[in-house]
Amino acid sequence: MIYFISDLHLGVLERTEDRKREDLFLTLMDRIKPTCEKLYLVGDIFDYWFDYKTVIPKNFYRTLAKLREFTDAGIKIEYLMGNHDFGHRSFFEEELGIEVISTDIEREHNGKKFYISHGDGKADNDTGYLILRSVLRNKISNFIYRIIHPDIGIGLASGSSKKSRSYTDTKDYGENEGMVNFAKKKIDEGFDYVIMGHRHKRLELKHGNGTYYNLGEWIHEPSYGVFDGNEFRLEKV
């Protein structure tokens, strides 16, 4: 079984509510572990992430430990950076054994072609977000974050995350949503499945010989995707 999870956004709510969602996530991880061959984290597992040379955010240590438990068991995890993942340095790779990827990826499983993307920047007329993302991810911004005290830097990262989320949540994508058009184009190019997150709206849309799935979100209706070797499906937690 291959599993896909995105948009958990740990850190977006009050600590008590966040812990409830973290508990739900950890319960799911324990449930899927016996059958999990590979896990794709399709961005924004944390509402913000920023690791320094010797410091990481202290919250959600249990989630980090659970991810390490998976990689220790030989389960490969690939993490696609989302619009809230602008502060990755080396912690995930060196300490968790997780490959962090800043681009869309193409994979093949059991003869099926997958195109996997967090989905940010795919909407039509989304120039404003693309500019915001370039600012948050550029080397100068990251350097500034890292030369100030971590408490201040992480606070700024949290504020930047809220700015990104506010822009995304209030954006009117219209009926011909750019992400849907993008997914259809990829299916026309020969992909069987296009998997994305970002929009916080669980979706299954068939097109031609393929299907676009949006993984939804974990703030209101937690869900995930699973490929059993024959077909892909969305599951509610």
Q: What is the CATH number of the domain that holds 56?
A: 3.60.21.10
Structure tokens at 17: 């509510």
Going from the C-alpha of 3 to that of each of 65, 116, 165, 177, the distances in angstroms are: 18, 12, 25, 25
Task: Give the pLDDT band of residue 14 (cuts 50, 70, 90).
Answer: confident
Whole-angstrom Cα distance, residue 80 to residue 45? Answer: 10
Phi, psi of 197 (to 5 degrees): -125, -130
How distant, in Å, are the alpha carbons of 81, 89, 106, 200 from that of 101? 6, 12, 12, 21
Q: Give the mean pLDDT of 165-176.
A: 50
- Amino acid letter, residue 2: I
The pLDDT, as a whole number, for residue 59 is 80
- pLDDT at residue 95 is higher than 80: yes
Q: Kindly list the distances between the CA atom of residue 231 and the CA atoms of 5, 27, 42, 211, in Å, as whole numbers in the listed order.
A: 17, 24, 19, 10
C-alpha count within 13 angstroms, C-beta hemisphere, residue 237? 28
Q: Which of 75, 77, 69 is nearest to 101 (CA)?
A: 77
| Residue 175: per-residue pLDDT | 36
- Residue 13: domain span: 2-236
pLDDT reported for residue 35: 98
pLDDT computed for residue 162 by the predictor:
54
Number of domains in the chain: 1
Tens of pLDDT, residue by residue over 187-218, are 999 999 999 998 889 999 999 999 999 999 99
> At residue 12, does pLDDT exceed 60?
yes
pLDDT of the residue at 15:
83
124: pLDDT confidence band, cut at 50, 70 and 90?
A: low
